[in-house]
């Protein structure tokens, strides 16, 4: 018996890293998973991995910064499986690494469009469906940069603080509607992108590892496990929380 048996779940940004790992964990917990990403190739790969883990899964392409794509994504889950119980709004980009004075309007606009507007758009259409069916659970991926300042990542930091804020607002607005809304705030996670940065830059690896009290980076599935717990009935009294999953980074 899985903790999410019979539930229908959706994961955005599931073509890699944290989203892919979460999609697999949710499938292992018994959920049917609609895998979504802007990349068809990577998203289809993830859907195949979830099926290989023994769960039902399909891929649906969506750019979370476009309202029409997100509306179609939620409709696809309902068309396929009749409802949407769990939604992990995880798609995100780090944007250009630049100080406040070096940053560009283009980077600011794109980072905020994907990382913050994308989360709002996803919640809008997911909650409209969850209201129709009488409840549901949402987990947004913020970051420790949603709780603390991150140097040379101003747009990302603003977007992730925004994700924490809108998570709290949504939790309060729908607390009486049986819809729980939470955020996970990952620390440094060893996704393929981060591991490539480390390979290219040993100093960056050392400085990022030095930030982590546990002395290692997180595994993508360690974020997925927290998301699966938040979706489960074991977390039935948890809403409006922004939970660090960060090896102690924000405890310092």
Backbone angles phi, psi at 150, to 5 degrees: -120, 120
Rule CB under 6 A: choose which of 23, 74, 93, 230 binds ligand NAD.
Answer: 93
Compute the distance between CA of residue 130 and CA of residue 148 in angstroms, rounded to an integer: 32
- 73-95 residues labelled b (16+ CB within 10 A) or e (exposed): bbebbeeebebbbbbbbbbbbbb
For residue 117, CA distances in Å to 64, 158, 186, 189, 238 come to 8, 12, 20, 23, 24
Assess 247 for contact with ligand NAD (CB under 6 A).
Answer: no
Cβ atoms of 65 and 38 within 8 Å: the answer is no
| Burial class of residue 132, CB neighbours in 10 A (0-12, 13-18, 19+) | exposed
Minimum gap (Å) between residue 134 Cβ and ligand NAD = 28
Q: Select 1 or 210, whichever has its Cβ closest to ligand NAD.
A: 210
Residue the block writes with tokens 């405890």? 251
Assess 55 for contact with ligand NAD (CB under 6 A).
Answer: no
Assess 186 for contact with ligand NAD (CB under 6 A).
Answer: yes
Rule CB under 6 A: choose which of 55, 70, 189, 227 binds ligand NAD.
Answer: 189
Compute the distance between CA of residue 73 and CA of residue 81 in angstroms, rounded to an integer: 12
Rule CB under 6 A: choose which of 7, 8, 10, 15 binds ligand NAD.
Answer: 15
Subset of 99-128 contacting ligand NAD (CB under 6 A)? 114
Cβ atoms of 73 and 10 within 8 Å: the answer is yes
Assess 92 for contact with ligand NAD (CB under 6 A).
Answer: yes
Rule CB under 6 A: choose which of 193, 204, 214, 234 binds ligand NAD.
Answer: 193
Assess 188 for contact with ligand NAD (CB under 6 A).
Answer: yes
By CB under 6 A, the count of residues binding ligand NAD is 27
Residues with a catalytic annotation lie at 156
Residue ranges in contact with ligand NAD by CB under 6 A: 12-13, 15-19, 37-39, 42, 63-65, 90-93, 114, 141, 143, 186, 188-189, 191, 193-194
């Amino acid at each position: 018996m899985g903790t999410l048996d019979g539930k229908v779940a959706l994961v955005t940004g599931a073509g890699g890293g944290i989203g892919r790992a979460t999609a697999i964990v949710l499938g292992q917990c018994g959920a049917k998973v609609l895998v979504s990403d802007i990349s068809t190739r990577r998203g289809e790969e993830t859907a195949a991995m979830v099926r290989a883990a023994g769960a039902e899964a399909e891929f649906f392409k969506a750019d979370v910064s476009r309202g029409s794509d997100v509306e179609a994504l939620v409709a696809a889950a309902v068309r396929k499986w009749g409802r949407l119980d769990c939604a992990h709004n995880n798609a995100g980009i780090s944007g250009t690494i630049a100080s406040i004075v070096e940053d560009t309007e283009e980077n600011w606009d794109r980072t905020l469009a994907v990382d913050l507007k994308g989360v709002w758009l996803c919640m809008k259409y997911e909650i409209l469906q969850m209201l129709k069916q009488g409840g549901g659970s949402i987990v947004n991926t913020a970051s420790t940069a949603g709780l603390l300042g991150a140097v040379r990542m101003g747009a990302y930091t603003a977007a992730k603080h925004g994700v924490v804020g809108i998570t709290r607002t949504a939790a309060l607005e729908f607390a009486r509607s049986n819809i729980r809304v939470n955020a996970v705030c990952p620390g440094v996670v060893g996704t393929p992108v981060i591991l490539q940065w480390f390979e290219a830059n040993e100093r960056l690896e050392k400085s990022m590892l030095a930030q982590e009290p546990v002395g290692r980076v997180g595994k993508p599935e360690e974020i997925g496990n927290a998301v699966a717990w938040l979706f489960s009935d074991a977390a039935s009294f948890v809403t409006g929380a922004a939970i660090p999953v960060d090896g102690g980074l924000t405890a310092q």
